[in-house]
Chain A
Amino acid sequence: MKAKKLISLALGALMCVGAFTACGDSAAPTATPPAAATTEPASNATEPPAATVEPTPDAPEPVQLSWAVWDYDTTPYYKALTDAYSAIHPEVTFNPVDLGSQDYQNMLTTQLSGGADLDVITVKDIPGYANLVNQGFLEPLAGYISSAGIDPAAYGGTLEQITVDGEVYAIPFRSDHWVIFYNKALFDAAGVPYPTNDMTIAQYDELAAQVTSGDGESKVYGEHFHTWRSTRQLWAVLDGQNTIVQGAYEFMKPTYERILKLMDDGVAMDYATVKTTGLHYSAAFYNQQAAMLNMGSWFIPTQIDKVATGESLATEWGIVKYPHPEGVAAGTTLGTITSAGVNPASSKREAALDFVKFISGAEGALVLAGLGQFPAVKTDEVADTIASIDGFPTDDNSKEALKTTKVYLEMPLDKNSAAIETVLNEADDAIMTGSITVDEGIEQMNTGVQEILAQ
C-alpha cells in the first residue's frame, strides 16, 4: 500500500517536472544568437548605467565588453591591454570576468551553457579550445581574418595548428615556448661549463649529472621536473615522429625510462616528493635546489621580478634553448598558446572582434613584450623588447634562446583533446608513482586513447 502510494506520488512529481522542463527544453535551443537579443534587457540591469546612455550623433556609441579571463588581479597584462585599447577607442570599456585559473575551463563552460553575457573569451589551452569549438561557443573567424587583413604568417604557424576543417575559432595572442633555465652560480661552484643553445638530450643529462652534488639540506639536483605531465612526455615528441594524440604510445618508453633513472640516480628530485610536498618549480629554482629547470618562457618575468625583490636566490642565471634529440635541429621546442575568441551569442560582435584583433596583433604584442610576456606575433622587435628588460640575463646565449626553429604545441588539436589529456595524465601519474610499470602505463594510454578515438 504505502509503496504504491509513494510510487504514484513520485510519478506525479516527475510528470510535473517533466512538463516544466519540456518548456525549458524548447527554450534552450533558441538561446542561440537571435534569441540572445531578447535576453538582453534582463542582463542590462546588472550593468553600469554607462551602457544604456543614449547615443549622441557624433560620438560612437559606448560599448562595454565582458571579457572572460583568469587571474586578473595577479596578471598585469590584461589591464595593460584593455588600457591600451581604450586609449585608442575611448568609447569601449571593459568588464573583466575573472573565472580563476584552476577551474577556468569548467567555470567557463558553466557560464556559457547558462547563457552568460560574455563577449570576448580567452582560451586557456588546446583541450579547452577543442571543447569550446565542439560546443559552438566560439565564433568562426576565418572570414574575419581575411577581411580584416590579418596576416596568418605572422603567428609562426600557431594559427594553422588551431585550424579545424579549414576554420579557425580564436587568434593566439600569447605564445610561450619551453627553455632551460639554469643557475650560473651552481655551475661555477661545481666547475662545470654552462649549458649551451645546442645540446642533445644526452648531453643535457650528462651535464645535469655533473652538476648534481651534496646531500640532505645542501643537495643540488642537476635538473628538475615539475609535476605536469608535459615536463615528461613532451621530450618524446621533439623528433616530430609522433604526436601526443595518436593513440599508440610505445615511443614514450625510452623517455620514461630516462626520467625514472634520473630520479633513481638522484639527478632529479623524486616525483612523489615533488608532488606530495607541493613543491613549486619556482621554489626549487629560487632556493638553488635545481641547477637546471625545464620550463616555459612565462617564468622569465617572474624570475626577473623575484630576483629584484630578493626572494629568488638564483641571482646569476641564464636561459638556453631546449635540448633536442640526436639529429633534430637546435631550437626545436614545445609551445603553449593562449588565444582569444568571440562568443557567437555576443551582441557586441563588431567591438569584440576588433579587440581580439588588437590584442593578437602587433600593437598588443608590444604591450605584452613590454611586460616580459611572449606575444604570439613574433617579430625581432618583440625579442629585443624582452631581452632589454631590466634584469634579463645579459649573455648572448640567453637572448638567442628566445628564438625558436620549430615549435610543437604541448597538446595538438584534436576534437577529443580534453578526454585524451585526462587519460594521459592519469597514466603518467600512475607510472611516476610506481603504481604501474612503464609498459602497463603505455598499455593503459593505448587502450584509453584508442577507446576515445574510436567514438
Chain B
Amino acid sequence: MPDPSKILKAGANRRKIKDHIVAYSFTAPNFIGFGVFTLIPLAFAFILAFYSWNGSPNQEMQFIAFDNFVKLMGDAKFWRALWNTVLYTLGTVPLTMAAALGLAILLNQKVRGRNFFRSVAFFPYVASLVAVAAVWNYLFSPTVGPINNLLHSITGLPFKPPAGGGMSLPRWAADPNPYVVMFTVVFFSVWKNMGYYMVIYLAGLQGISQDLYEAADIDGASKWQKFWKITLPQLSPTTFFVLMILVINSFKVYDIFINIFAGADNQLTDNSRVLVYQIYNTAFRDLKFGYSSAMAMVLFVIVLGITLIQFQGEKKFTA
C-alpha cells in the first residue's frame, strides 16, 4: 500500500529538482554577470567597512572591527549629509510620483500631438545634465535670472536682503536658508526625472485589460470610480516599482547636487551635502576608504529596511 505514494513522492522530488534547475537556468545568465562584476566588488567594499585603509595597494589593510561605525555616530558632517538626503527624498518622491502618474494618465489618452508631448516630457531626462543644470541655474540666478526679475516686478521685493533686515526675494540655490536650497533642487529633480517615471507608468497602463473598463461601463461606473477601483489597483505593481526605485535613487542622489550647487571645485556645503558626496569624498579626498565604506553600509541598511517594508506592503496590496 505505501508503495504508490512513495513513488509519487519520489517523482514529485525529481520534478522539484528539475523545476529548480529550470528556474536557476533562467536567473543564471544575468546573475552570473551581476555577481561577478557587481556583487564581488561590492562585497569587498562592505568588508572594508571593518578596516582602516587608505586606498593604496602599498598599504596593509588594518582590521578595526566596529571602530568606523562608532566614529560615524559622532560625525556631524555625516549626520548632516544624511539629514539632507532624507529631506530631499521626502520632497522628491511624492512630488515625482504624482507628476509622473498625472502625466502618464494625461498622455495615455487620445490627444492630438500625443507623440510630441510624450517626447517633450521625456526630454529633460535624456538631455545632458551639465547642459540643463546650467540653464536652470541661469534661470534661477538671484539677481540676473529671469525668474527673480519677474518676481521682482510683481512683488517689488528687493533682490538682496535690506541692511536692516526684512523680506527679500529668495536666492534659490544660493539662499542662506537650507529649506529654500532644498526646495530648489527638489523642483529641478522633479522636472528632470518625471518623464522617466512617466514612461514606466505608461508601460504599466498598457497592461491593464480593457475588459475591466468595459465591465465597469456596463455597471455604470463613473470616471472617478474607474480610476480608484480599476486604474490605481491595477497599477499597483508599477507604483511599488516606481516608489522603490525613486526612494533608492533619491538616497543615492549625487550628480544633480554636484551640477546644481558645486562650482569649479566639485564642492558641496552644509546646506547641500548629500550622503553619496560624503562617501565619495571621504574615500577619495580624505583617503579613508574603510570609513567611507562604513557610510555606504549604513546607506545600504537604511534602504534595505525601507525596501523590505515596501515589499511587505506590496504583498498585502497586490496579492
Question: B137 to chain A: which residues have CB within 8 Å?
Answer: 276-278
A435-B271 in contact (CB<8A): yes
Q: Count B-side interface residues using an 8 Å CB cutoff.
A: 45
Does B172 belong to the interface (CB within 8 Å)? Answer: yes
Using CB atoms, name the residue of chain A closest to B134. Answer: A278
Among B19-27, B52-60, B211-219, B226-234, which stretch is in contact with chain A? B52-60
Rounded to whole Å, the gap between the CB of A326 and the closest CB of chain B is 29
CB < 8 Å neighbour of B57 from A20, A105, A113, A429: A113
Does A370 belong to the interface (CB within 8 Å)? Answer: no
Rounded to whole Å, the gap between the CB of B67 and the closest CB of chain A is 13
Rounded to whole Å, the gap between the CB of B39 and the closest CB of chain A is 8
Does A97 belong to the interface (CB within 8 Å)? Answer: no
Question: B143 to chain A: which residues have CB within 8 Å?
Answer: 270, 272-273
Does A404 belong to the interface (CB within 8 Å)? Answer: no
A276-B145 in contact (CB<8A): yes
A113-B265 in contact (CB<8A): no
Does A99 belong to the interface (CB within 8 Å)? Answer: no
Does A229 belong to the interface (CB within 8 Å)? Answer: yes
Does A209 belong to the interface (CB within 8 Å)? Answer: no
- 8 nearest A-B pairs in the assembled complex, by CB-CB distance: A135-B56, A136-B58, A17-B43, A272-B174, A227-B263, A276-B141, A435-B176, A31-B57
A115-B263 in contact (CB<8A): no
Does A419 belong to the interface (CB within 8 Å)? Answer: yes
Does A161 belong to the interface (CB within 8 Å)? Answer: no
Q: Known A102-B266, A419-B286; judge A277-B55 contact (CB<8 A).
A: no
Measured between alpha carbons, how far is A270 from B161 in the docked complex, in Å? 13
Q: Known A32-B58, A273-B141, A277-B138; judge A429-B287 contact (CB<8 A).
A: no
A109-B174 in contact (CB<8A): no
Does A149 belong to the interface (CB within 8 Å)? Answer: no
Does B31 belong to the interface (CB within 8 Å)? Answer: no
Question: A271 to chain B: which residues have CB within 8 Å?
Answer: 174
Q: Known A24-B44, A105-B284, A134-B287; judge A277-B144 contact (CB<8 A).
A: yes
Measured between alpha carbons, how far is A278 from B145 in the docked complex, in Å? 12
Does B205 belong to the interface (CB within 8 Å)? Answer: no
A137-B270 in contact (CB<8A): no
Q: Known A105-B284, A278-B134; judge A29-B57 contact (CB<8 A).
A: yes
Does A338 belong to the interface (CB within 8 Å)? Answer: no
Using CB atoms, name the residue of chain B closest to A106. Answer: B284
Rounded to whole Å, the gap between the CB of A432 and the closest CB of chain B is 9
CB < 8 Å neighbour of A136 from B40, B59, B174, B271: B59
Using CB atoms, name the residue of chain B closest to A424. Answer: B267
Question: B287 to chain A: which residues have CB within 8 Å?
Answer: 131, 134-135, 418
Measured between alpha carbons, how far is A430 from B273 in the docked complex, in Å? 12
Rounded to whole Å, the gap between the CB of B291 and the closest CB of chain A is 12
Question: B144 to chain A: which residues have CB within 8 Å?
Answer: 273, 277
* Interfacial residues of chain A within 14-53, with CB under 8 A of chain B in the complex: 14, 17-18, 20-21, 24-25, 28-29, 31-32
Q: What are 24 A-B residue pairs whose CB atoms fall within 8 Å in the complex? A: A17-B44, A105-B285, A115-B57, A127-B285, A135-B58, A135-B287, A137-B56, A137-B58, A227-B263, A228-B263, A272-B142, A272-B143, A273-B143, A273-B144, A276-B140, A276-B142, A276-B174, A277-B138, A277-B144, A418-B286, A426-B269, A426-B273, A433-B176, A434-B176
Does B171 belong to the interface (CB within 8 Å)? Answer: yes
Using CB atoms, name the residue of chain A closest to B176. Answer: A435
Does A203 belong to the interface (CB within 8 Å)? Answer: no
A135-B141 in contact (CB<8A): no
Question: A31 to chain B: which residues have CB within 8 Å?
Answer: 57
Q: Known A272-B143, A426-B268; judge A418-B57 contact (CB<8 A).
A: no
Question: A137 to chain B: which residues have CB within 8 Å?
Answer: 56, 58
Does B47 belong to the interface (CB within 8 Å)? Answer: yes
B58-A20 in contact (CB<8A): no
* Interfacial residues of chain A within 162-200, with CB under 8 A of chain B in the complex: none
Measured between alpha carbons, how far is A134 from B143 in the docked complex, in Å? 44
A425-B265 in contact (CB<8A): yes
